[in-house]
Chains A and B, each alone.
Chain A
Amino acid sequence: DAKTTQPPSMDCAEGRAANLPCNHSTISGNEYVYWYRQIHSQGPQYIIHGLKNNETNEMASLIITEDRKSSTLILPHATLRDTAVYYCIVRVDLSGTYKYIFGTGTRLKVLA
Chain B
Amino acid sequence: DAGVIQSPRHEVTEMGQEVTLRCKPISGHDYLFWYRQTMMRGLELLIYFNNNVPIDDSGMPEDRFSAKMPNASFSTLKIQPSEPRDSAVYFCASSLFARDGYTFGSGTRLTVV
Contact = CB atoms under 8 A, between A and B. Distances in A.
Interface of A: 32, 34, 36, 42-49, 87, 91, 97-104
B101 A99 contact: no
12 contacts: A42-B106, A43-B4, A44-B93, A44-B102, A44-B104, A46-B103, A97-B48, A99-B56, A100-B45, A100-B102, A102-B43, A103-B42
A43 B101 contact: no
A81 to B, nearest CB: 17
Given A46-B103, A104-B42, A98 B98 contact: yes
Contacts of B98: 98
Main secondary structure of the interface of B (DSSP, over half): strand
Kindly state the interface size class of chain B when it binds its partner: 10 to 19
A43 B25 CA distance: 14
B47 to A, nearest CB: 11
A23 to B, nearest CB: 18
B113 to A, nearest CB: 20
